[in-house]
Amino acid sequence: MKQFILKEAPDAKLNISNFELQEVDLPKPEDGQVLVRNILLSIDAANRTWMQGRTYRDQVVAGDVMPSYSVAEIVESKDPEFKKGQIVTADSFWAEYSVIESRDVNKCPDNISLPNLLSLFGIAGLTAYHGLFDVGEVKASDTVVVSAAAGSVGVYVGQLAKAIGCKVVGIAGGDTKCKKVVEELGFDGCIDYKNANLVRDLKTHCPEGIDLYFDNVGGTVLEAVLIRMKNRGRVVCCGAVSQYESSSPIGPRNIPGFVITKRLKLEGFIVMDFKEKHMEAITHMTKLLNEGKITIVEDITEGLQNAPKALVNLLNGKNFGKSMVRVAPDPYEQKMS
């Protein structure tokens, strides 16, 4: 079977040449493990941070098989909890097949399409939901700004906030993305940070000031938004993708200055902090989906061989919505055809 290892850890910008495709024997599961066939790999900005050092998980170092969250099918189980043919989500790898400890495998509802298990009903939607409602305590009267607005989390932050009545302005790279966010997803506006004076344009879009900023990027974008926050505004610190490839990361220069004078609340979170509330989030988002108030946006790349390219593309802003790689055909679609 085929698998990718991280051949060489990147110094700054990740390149597809940092990975190597290998052919190895099919692994065998032992007691407490399962062998899965990976179907969809979740491509996440966080994959890049795992190469920088220990985060909420071990560092990925040269020689490691590249880890990845995935949707997979059980091929062989050495744990009575899991049966051959079951569809699961798992802490898996960039590989055709993986042996995984069964504690890192989760059963899935069978009424959700497999790509949706990674997008609206997976990390992307759940991060948007918990960040907005549980951390940001969003209110209908809020003016909400979200960065990486056309990315996997950002598209749902904006749509969830719009659905409860907020005014929503996105920040994204490029005119095409900004147009799509407004015309296809119903945001009230979107600023192209690559071609803008952010501080001025935020004032134009949000003359009343910003109540809630959902920050996916950190750096100079965060610095500009802080200038336009209302007193007692809330900043949800979800990610800092602008810094993941930088050899000398920079923070906003107005922290703590503006945090103090504007009495701001900044709070970080990891989506798994809210594991107990995932069902509540899924129920809320299913209702919105059925009411036509939310559009699912998925960006699927075909073939395991293209996994490095998909990650490099995401870090360079070439995705729209949730990025994933299809490694094997979808068994649900095969049953229907």
Ligand X SMILES: NC(=O)c1ccc[n+]([C@@H]2O[C@H](COP(=O)([O-])OP(=O)(O)OC[C@H]3O[C@@H](n4cnc5c(N)ncnc54)[C@H](OP(=O)(O)O)[C@@H]3O)[C@@H](O)[C@H]2O)c1
* Site residues for ligand X per CB under 6 A: 44-46, 123-124, 127, 148, 150-154, 172-174, 177, 216-217, 221, 238-242, 269-271, 314, 317, 319, 323
Reduced to 3 states (helix: H, G, I; strand: E, B; else coil), residue 149 is coil
Kindly state the smallest distance separating residue 47's Cβ from ligand X, in Å: 8
- Tell me phi and psi for residue 301, to 5 degrees: -100, 135
51 or 314, CB closer to ligand X? 314
Q: Is 208 helix (H, G, I), strand (E, B) or coil?
A: coil
Instruction: For the CB of residue 76, give the shortest distance to ligand X in the complex, in Å.
Output: 31
Structure-block tokens of residue 96: 């055709």
For residue 115, whether the previous peptide bond is cis, meaning omega lies within 30 degrees of 0, is no
Are the CB atoms for 239 and 271 separated by under 8 Å? no
> Whose Cβ is closer to ligand X: residue 34's or residue 297's?
297
Q: In terms of CB distance, is 93 or 244 closer to ligand X?
A: 244
Distance in angstroms (rounded) separating the CA atoms of residues 193 and 173? 6
123: phi then psi, degrees, rounded to nearest 5: -55, -40
Nearest approach, Cβ of residue 127 and ligand X (Å): 4
CB atoms within 10 A of CB 81: 12
Q: Which is nearer to ligand X, 67 or 151 (CB)?
A: 151
Taking the complex as a whole, how short is the minimal distance between the CB of residue 22 and ligand X, in angstroms?
25
Q: Count the helix, strand and coil residues of the chain and give each as a percent rounded to the nearest 5.
A: 35, 30, 40
- Judged by beta carbon, residue 171 or residue 229, the one nearer ligand X is 171
CA dist 48 and 9 (Å) reads 10
Q: Give the H or E element holding residue 41.
A: strand 33-42
CB of 230 to ligand X, least distance (A): 23
Question: Measured in Å, how far apart are the chain's first and last C-alpha atoms?
Answer: 27
Q: How far is the CB of 153 from ligand X (least distance, A)?
A: 4
Q: Which is nearer to ligand X, 73 or 245 (CB)?
A: 245
Comparison of 16 and 270: residue with beta carbon closer to ligand X: 270
**Shortest Cβ 46–ligand X spacing (Å):** 5
Q: Which helix (H) or strand (E) holds 177?
A: helix 175-183
Give the span between the Cα atoms of 27 and 24, in whole angstroms.
8
